[in-house]
Amino acid sequence: MSSSVMDSEVYRGIFVSERMRKVFSDESLMQKWLDAWVALARAEADLGVIPQEAAEKIADKASFEVFDPTLIREGIVDTTHPLIVQIRQFTEAVGGREGGFIHWGATTQDIMDTAVVLQMKEAQEVLLDQLNKFLKTLLSLSDKYKSTIMPGRTHGQHALPITLGYKIAIWADEIGKHIERLEAGQDRYLVSSFSGAAGTLASISEHGLAIQEKYSEYLGLKQATITWHVQRDGFAEYSSYIAMIAGTIGKIANEIINLQRTEIGEIEEGFKDGQIGSSTMPHKRNPMICEYVVGLTRVVQRNASLSFDAMLQEHERDMTFWTTEWSYIPQINMMTSGGIEQMQGILERFIVHEDKMARNLDQLKGLIVSENLMLTLGAHVGRQVAHDMVYKVSMQAFEEDRHLLEVTLEDAEIMAHLSDVEVKNCLDPKSYVGLCEVFVERVQQKWKQ
């Protein structure tokens, strides 16, 4: 029986990616507890702390099938301990004297934290794979539409002409930086945990650091400088990156929603036969997928904020916020991965209405390039004087619902300084897209590497 969108047979298809869901499945978590115990046993056997045959037998039995999830669930309730039942089940599976060397010198948080980090490591690989594919798609689209002119908007109003490729290149650059952040941050948060009861490695201090080093090597993780039982900044950093990635994905989705508005109609998220926009209005082509993505982005960012609460730890161990990590880390990863997957599909089939972009460019009847007219005139009379002169004809054009070109050509004060051809060139949106194409090329050059 499912009771959340993460596992729901009904809803999970629009919230999570199946690939990431497997990373955070019960089977994955149980296996990663075992992987941590195996790495620890091997490291300790290498240094002669436990018998080599014990490490071999521990490794031989380390498959998640040794666990009974029902007994684990019931045992956690009965014992109030999150790992003791698993230790008992694994000890029984290994059997004999060798089973007694499981968890040697470790504390519960060592194994559980390491398992979460191993999940994060796998999750990061999934995210990087998705993000690199997403970036490649964005770069391709920014190049395709680098000269496609559309209205730029600030404060929800027409500002200056831009190109669609320029808008998409901004998205691409942001995704590229997220990839850099994940790659650069992993040395700080993909760190093993093996410190013992109070983090001092007192139980095996003679070989403690050497075991810790080998343990980390076996797991493919970094060795900590000092215990991080009460250092949760690594999880906060990782969660921040996930929240930022979700923010970018949500922003792209929200922009498509806005540009698909009936009154704008410049972009559609894509539509296929059989897709339903409304149960009661047959004509609707709603940006439903983008709306799902914006919604899950909000959930990700709220949940990720728990990572900052978890940094407030007491003494040498504090479980009050430690437990939240078992909940929010899987959720933010699964939902962010789901959002990327959904937006990848959107970008592979979204529809661009260049005719409506051209129509909207002229919606203000030349006012969208009033700055160009002002600066050209300013070369003759100074910027502020030019601003006042162009303001006067702009307000006249707006109030009379006439084209700015028509009103300007009638204005003797302006025409005393500019020719008809100059005014027409100034008020052509195609002449005032600035360095849009140059910026697209810069983003292409940086991230195609």
Q: Using the CB atoms, write b or e for 410-431: b if 16+ within 10 Å.
A: ebeebeeebeeeebebbbebee
Pairing, β 267-268 against β 351-352 = antiparallel
Say how many residues make up the chain: 449
What is each CA distance from 243 to 89, 299, 373, in whole angstroms? 37, 10, 42
Classify the C-alpha dihedral 428-430-435-436 as positive or negative: positive
Which one of the listed residues 3, 155, 279, 419 is annotated catalytic? 155
178 is catalytic: no
**Cα separation, 177 vs 182, whole angstroms:** 9
- Token digits of residue 100: 């007694």
Nearest alpha carbon to residue 269 among 294, 245, 247: 294
- Token digits of residue 437: 């194409």
278 is catalytic: yes
**Cα separation, 384 vs 390, whole angstroms:** 10
**Cα separation, 109 vs 412, whole angstroms:** 81
- Strand intervals (E) in 45-113: none
Which one of the listed residues 2, 278, 327, 431 is annotated catalytic? 278
Residues annotated catalytic, as ranges:
155, 278
